[in-house]
Amino acid sequence: TPSAVQKIKELLKDKPEHVGVKVGVRTRGCNGLSYTLEYTKSKGDSDEEVVQDGVRVFIEKKAQLTLLGTEMDYVEDKLSSEFVFNNPNIKGICGCGESFNI
């Protein structure tokens, strides 16, 4: 989303050695999977690259099918600010919202 693009641009502004962010999934939490998001200095050999308004997002190979069709957003409210993944593939989430299953 435009909000996520703007936030990633802000985060990368002071990190010229990084070319974008990498999104993945890890086995963790009470429901199976959780998202990972980290800065990256290069595109991995098997990463899928998505470019949106000049921002480069790399998707790890093992997360590509899990994240197919997912929208990444950045949401701020009075109590928190976070990247949110609107993933149409999710079949269930845990009560705390930390993990999901496909």
3-state secondary structure labels for all residues of the chain: CHHHHHHHHHHHHCCCCCCEEEEEEEECCCCCEEEEEEEECCCCCCCEEEEECCEEEEECHHHCCCCCCCEEEEEECCCCEEEEEECCCCCEECCCCCCEEC
pLDDT at 97: 59
Number of domains composing the chain? 1
Q: Predicted confidence band at 12 (pLDDT cuts at 50, 70, 90)?
A: very high
The answer to whether residue 41 is domain-embedded is yes
Summarised one tens digit per residue, pLDDT across range 25-60 is 888 766 677 889 999 999 999 999 999 999 999 999
Beta bridge partners of 59: 23, 48
Say which CATH number the domain at 66 has. 2.60.300.12
The answer to whether residue 49 is domain-embedded is yes
pLDDT at 65: 86
The answer to whether residue 102 is domain-embedded is no
Statement: residue 99 has pLDDT above 90? no
Summarised one tens digit per residue, pLDDT across range 64-76 is 988 899 999 999 9
The answer to whether residue 101 is domain-embedded is no
Prediction pTM value: 0.84
pLDDT at 4: 95
- Tell me what percent of the residues of the chain surpass a pLDDT of 70: 86
Beta-carbon contacts of 41 under 8 Å, excluding residues fewer than 6 positions away, are: 17, 18, 19
Mean pLDDT of the chain: 87
